[in-house]
Structure 1
Amino acid sequence: MTGNPDLRGPLATIAGHGAVALAVLYVGLRAHWALGGQALQESVGVTERLLSDSLVPPWGLVGVALAIALLPVGLRRTHFRRALLIPAWIAVAALTARGVSGLLLLYPLRETVPPMSTPAVLALAAYSPVFLLWAALLCGVTVLSRPHS
């Protein structure tokens, strides 16, 4: 009589919490670096640091990551959901592109880039899947948070 329970709400909540947690970790690390900290910086390749810093200044990356961290919260609020759909999909695409490009540099494109240090290779192997997980969680909350009919 009751049928299958609708799990979209709880799954969206779980995906939202996961996306926010990964965003907060990234914000913390980027803020630490922007303030001059060096923790874990040697694990990120010089090429990646130069590319990310040349595209967006360090505090700009912190701001973008904070905005991405707030997306799941806003998507769960019906008043803001429509306004945040396009930024959410842009963030999903950007995070996916970052994750995939990092993985491509590990194997298929490895011969086309200058030699990378062992810490840079390990960083790509560790961080790229994290960006893909972040993208998947944000995608999940974007899809699952639509109003129930």
Structure 2
Amino acid sequence: MPVPDFVVRLRESIGHDLLWLPGVTAVVLRDDEVLLVERSDNGRWAPVTGIVDPGEHPEVAAVREALEETGVVCEIESLVWVDVTPVITHVNGDLAQYLDHTYLCRYVSGEARVGDDESLSVRWCELDDLPEMEPVLVERIRRAAGVRAGA
């Protein structure tokens, strides 16, 4: 589901006003590859991202989002970065800002596939041959890969 139910309910009250939300990025690594999704909202490549549900631990959210969006089961290895995004204007005009928790995740099982309508495609990419993506997303991948390599 692209927008969690709790956000839909909030938007009924506040319209497009700015929402501060906890988010997650799951940088799922398999050997020297990273799992990427081509987002349906903007057509850009990204690691798996999502919103933390009320009462949900961010680690649980990262694993859940990876499974929902890609069909891949992963395990958390480490929290690698916490960052605040700039204010984002979504395609529908909603304003949001996220406290992102970026996790290094280890691939466990599953065939990478489009799992919901948030993605156009899903693929494994070599860490040294990433498609064009937002610089902050490349930085999240770089930090996770650096933790994995012991840097």
Q: TM over 0.5, yes or no?
A: no
Higher helix content, 1 or 2: 1
The structure with the largest alpha-carbon Rg is 1
Higher strand content, 1 or 2: 2
